Amino acid sequence: MAHLELNDIVYFLPDGRQLLNGVGFRVGDGAKTALIGPNGTGKTTLTRIIAGDETPDEGSVSSSGSLGVMRQFVGQLRDDSTVRDLLLSVASPPVRTAAAALDTAENTMIEVDDEKTQMKYAQALSDWGDVGGYDLEPFWDKVTTAALGMPFDRAKWRAASTLSGGEQKRLVLEALFAGSDNLLLLDEPDNYLDVPGKRWLESTIRDSDKSVLFISHDRELIANAANRIVTLEPGVSGATSWVHGGGFATYHAAREDRNARLDELRRRWDEELVKLRALVLRLREKAKFNDGVAARYHASQTRLAKFEEAGPPEAVPLKQHVT
């Protein structure tokens, strides 16, 4: 069982700009949710908040299950990290810690070969065994074979930057979908994938029993893999979210309905404002000649002030395009 729930997330960028303004949605057990929105609306930032890399200024994130994250930069790796590093980056925190300790101990052994170093190395090997490190190798072997067509032994020291963008993505995706995390957060998993790769991704998301939240700008992937769609909508004081509880086939109609409703609410608000202002003016004129109207005149002023203070209903969001 795995779920994710965001409540009223408010987030300000370091430069003081408000990026998110009350974002909230839920990804239920086994749901496949697409998170969409124009460039720069805050989708990646939201994944960083969910992953715990950033703390929201207001609101809360709660989840059950074990979270696996594929970040947007996978596919553009240019540093000297290896295939093994890339696989480790989506392994569990205890595995990552044990692997780092083992690497350090091995490197130290190359330089000093005293008893203390040997003890440390023995401890690191034993910790590696304790976190299931030895079982990971056959698992990674399946992953590299599926993603790169080569066994882990041959792939592991290869620089990840020498893999194509699509191969980097595929490697991480194979590891996450075959792995034990049951709540997956995927930031633009389809980027760099060729057509067969995209088809594979669509069916892998759809057929998986994990809960998946994925960010995409690709309407085919959204249409073929998502059964819920969360839209981040830019606004003057940060993005808000709108949740469509169905797939892409019904998305546009639902969105137009909702926008028409917002339009209607706004029109009614404007009409009411005109009426209230006219009433205040009328009563002001009457009050000049009739003392008995003064109380009604003041009441109408208060009503207008309150109405204006409450402000108009939510504005219809800017048009967005999903390509």
Ligand X SMILES: Nc1ncnc2c1ncn2[C@@H]1O[C@H](COP(=O)(O)OP(=O)(O)OP(=O)(O)O)[C@@H](O)[C@H]1O
- Tokens 């044990």 belong to 98
> Cβ 13 to ligand X, closest distance in Å?
4
Q: Which is nearer to ligand X, 20 or 90 (CB)?
A: 20
Positions touching Mg ion (CB under 5 A) are 43-44, 72
Q: Which is nearer to Mg ion, 44 or 208 (CB)?
A: 44
Compose the 48-87 pattern: x for residues touching ligand X by CB under 6 A, - for all others. Answer: ------------------------x---------------
> Cβ 147 to Mg ion, closest distance in Å?
23
Sign of CA dihedral 137, 138, 143, 145: positive
Amino acid (one-letter) located at 84: R
Q: Which is nearer to ligand X, 49 or 160 (CB)?
A: 49
Contacts of 99 (CB under 8 A, 6+ apart): 88, 91, 128, 133
CA distance 281 to 48: 53
Determine, following the binding rule CB under 6 A, whether residue 92 of this chain makes contact with ligand X. no
Determine, following the binding rule CB under 6 A, whether residue 15 of this chain makes contact with ligand X. yes
Q: Total number of residues binding ligand X (CB under 6 A)?
A: 13
Partner in contact with 138, chosen from Mg ion, ligand X, none, beta carbon below 5 to 8 Å by kind: none
User: Contacting ligand X (CB under 6 A), which of 9, 20, 27, 42?
Assistant: 42
Partner in contact with 309, chosen from ligand X, Mg ion, none, beta carbon below 5 to 8 Å by kind: none
CA distance 116 to 95: 23
> Cβ 240 to Mg ion, closest distance in Å?
18
Give the residue ranges of DSSP H helices in 51-132.
83-89, 93-111, 115-130
CA distance 216 to 223: 11
CA distance 247 to 34: 9
Could you tell me the two tokens for 176? 């996450």
DSSP states along 135-202: HHHHHHHHHHHHHHSS-HHHHTTSBGGGS-HHHHHHHHHHHHHHSS-SEEEEESTTTT--HHHHHHHH
- Tokens 């070969």 belong to 113
Determine, following the binding rule CB under 6 A, whether residue 41 of this chain makes contact with ligand X. yes
User: Contacting ligand X (CB under 6 A), which of 1, 8, 40, 281?
Assistant: 40
Partner in contact with 129, chosen from ligand X, Mg ion, none, beta carbon below 5 to 8 Å by kind: none
User: Contacting ligand X (CB under 6 A), which of 27, 34, 36, 43?
Assistant: 43
User: Contacting ligand X (CB under 6 A), which of 21, 33, 45, 240?
Assistant: 45
Determine, following the binding rule CB under 6 A, whether residue 156 of this chain makes contact with ligand X. no
Partner in contact with 295, chosen from Mg ion, ligand X, none, beta carbon below 5 to 8 Å by kind: none
Could you tell me the two tokens for 189? 């998993």
User: Contacting ligand X (CB under 6 A), which of 2, 4, 9, 19?
Assistant: 19
Determine, following the binding rule CB under 6 A, whether residue 117 of this chain makes contact with ligand X. no
**What are the C-alpha distances in Å from 218 to residues 174, 195, 215, 226, 307?**
20, 12, 9, 11, 42
Footprint on this chain of ligand X (rule: CB under 6 A)? 13-15, 19, 37, 39-45, 72
